[in-house]
Structure 1
Amino acid sequence: MDSPPPVVQRFSGTARFFIICAAAGFALIPFLFLSRVIEYHGYHIGGVKGAVAVVYHLISTPARRYSGRRLIGRYAEIRDAALNLAASSDLVELEEESSSIVAACCASLFLTGVFLLVAVIADQYLGPHNGLDPALLKSMEGFVFCGIGAYVAVLYFMAARLYANALSSRFMTTSALRSASAVAVGWVAGMVGIDAVLPNNTSGGVFFLIGLFYNWAIGAMRTKALNWLGAPKSDNDELPITIVEGIDDTAADLLSEYGITTLQHLVEAEPAELSERTLIPINRILEWIDQAMLIQRVKRNIVAMRSSGVRTATDLARIYAHAQSHDPIAVDLLKSLAERTAVGAPALHIISREFQFNLMLNVIYEALEGKPLVPPSGSSSGGLSADRIGSGNIALRAAARL
């Protein structure tokens, strides 16, 4: 029985026009409060990121998405064959609005509006003022310096996204919300008197750092609040997703936009959909998932395993398969891994056996390497099933270089 086609909600022309007008209005509202529109030039920097994002969307995004679909389609063939699904020519269906020029323009306008507001506040309050409440001036100082820090942070992450060819309207929207939250935190910090807990003349620098490293600032404030309120500590030792080799702060920020914030999220993600949405190459995502599956089981013992050359779950599964074939080197390596880690030999053997027959890992290995993870007994070739892909299986790592 054929599955029904996906339902994609699309905006009408009137709705698109209304959304664009609302976003433009939000971006232009700060000009109503700018006393020196002609003389004051601080607002110029507010539109830089929005303009870059729109130009990037028009020039680069369609070509990058089209080139990545060839590898995604190849992975989909291997996955569907492993699941005994009918071959389908349809790739991942994305909401049209998520990648349209309307979304890019609206997200850019919202981000521009936030920083134009910071420029207006800087024009009004950062200067010689007599007779104003010092508490108000301090709160505005926090507002502006946190905004400037957030501006620099957005530029930093935007440059990394441009290098990776992964700038998106979702990034612009989340950056607008994050920047608005940062300036709100700065405003509150200035209002409640942050000078009371800081050395003299350092509040401006602290405000800037709060905006620049907003995630760290929120984490530090959350930890302090938990201690003050006496909240119970969690026993869950959740490792950061950056423990996966190849995922730096920029890649982690990109994944977090799509709900991938922990190792468990990455392990359970659908690689084809994640690649299509983030524009990260499918072979890179598969390799990350391969690593995450091993880290999820061995936790911090991954450091000792990496020093022995075992980086991924498929590495461990292949070593276990060789050990089962009485390969002395593989047997010694498994014994060494059990001794160097806190996992223990019995648990390590059970984990390796589970990896060996894990369907997702078999699909990942065959997609990346073009051969089965564990060949059937008595056979030196073939995939998860003898008649699945045949001799035409091309590894994604090789195909990505074609």
Structure 2
Amino acid sequence: MAKTYDYDLFVIGAGSGGVRAARVSAAHGARVAIAEEFRVGGTCVIRGCVPKKLLIYGAHFAEDLQDARRFGWDVPDCKFDWPVLRDNVLAEVERLEGIYGEILERNEVEVIHQRATVSGVNEVTLADGTKVSAGTILIATGAWPMIPDVPGAEHGITSNEVFNLDTIPKRAVIAGGGYIANEFAGIFHQLKSDVTIVNRGDRILRHYDEQVRDRLLQISLTKGIKFLFNAPFEKIEKKAEGGLVIHLAGQDPIEADLLLWAVGRVPRTPGLGLEEAGVKLGKNGAIEVDEDNQSSVPSIYAIGDVTDRVQLTPVAIREGHAFADTIFGGKPTRVDYENIPSAVFSHPPIAGVGMTEAEARERLGSVKIYTSDFRAMKNVLAGRNERALYKLVVDGENEKVVGIHMIGPDAPEILQSAAIAVKAGLTKPQFDDTVAIHPTMAEELVLMR
């Protein structure tokens, strides 16, 4: 006789990926429970991309209000009230958390508001000591902000805490050169902070196309954001009267009111009991899985940031859905990781899909590059010299567009549609054959010659 368990599936972690896997598995008829020690919704909804995007919208009004005067609006000097924006964002997060809970309830997924750890290949132990069994265990605990091993590092905060600040700092130092660092640099700068990005390396956004990331650096410097490269942290001191003194190798000390650590995220596996259960972990504690999200233990699977494959919410959701369809839906499905679009909601935003120019030259040899370097119509009338840059990377052998990279207003919104063309393998002549919508910024994608 087949062994019976308390649940067919037990999910640890109720973020975007875990929730999708749980509800779809339940819809396929599985008996599902999901455990979450903090709040349903995970990093993206509670303390990640959703509240951050709302802060970006709020910060962008600083320039919008200035630009409005050039368009004929009599805009008085406006006062910004941080607690109003903060509290409205947190209220929206709470609303979304409720929606996630309702989705699980409608699909008859049992939600357990406790920490859960793996105590056997088919067993989970809850924080209150209760042990439950499951035919399949899915780990979807995501990733956690990394804090470097530097004396005084505890005086800084991470993206987990930044949404609950009492006040906007007058002087903000942001450690890191990735998307979180550049996005919060834009937010704080627009809200009148003096911002310095400190990076131990020599470049920002190293996975993005070089021309695009260089354009962001130029624009950010013009706006007044400062950058220090090749500057490792030595120690952080907290002053008795408040504020921080940040010591860097080869640099003068910096005084700041806030230090934000944005130096990367590591898979959240410590203390889960995975190694004791026989689950193989890779670098940074990431769970090693195969193409079907299965770990080295046949009954234990993992999806999302905890696997450290592609740390993007939409990827975690795809993986969760594929897992559910494969294991409980009788529809074997695997995620295609080629040509995943991504964006940085910096100021201005950048977006890209496919190969960068450097990657294409290394992999393909024969490459054609098309660019459009222009000022958006709105910026022209507003008197802003800020220029957008669009770039097509084309395979010289077959004219296939293998990469699109952009910086400028609404770049992520435009790229979402353009990414379909790259995924579909469309060619540069097909782009050229498409009639432009005029006047738009997006028309530049089909006008490059």
Query: What TM-score do you get using the length of structure 1 for normalisation?
Result: 0.28
Which protein shows a greater Rg? 1
Q: Structure 1 or 2: larger strand share? A: 2
Query: What TM-score do you get using the length of structure 2 for normalisation?
Result: 0.26
Q: Structure 1 or 2: larger helix share? A: 1
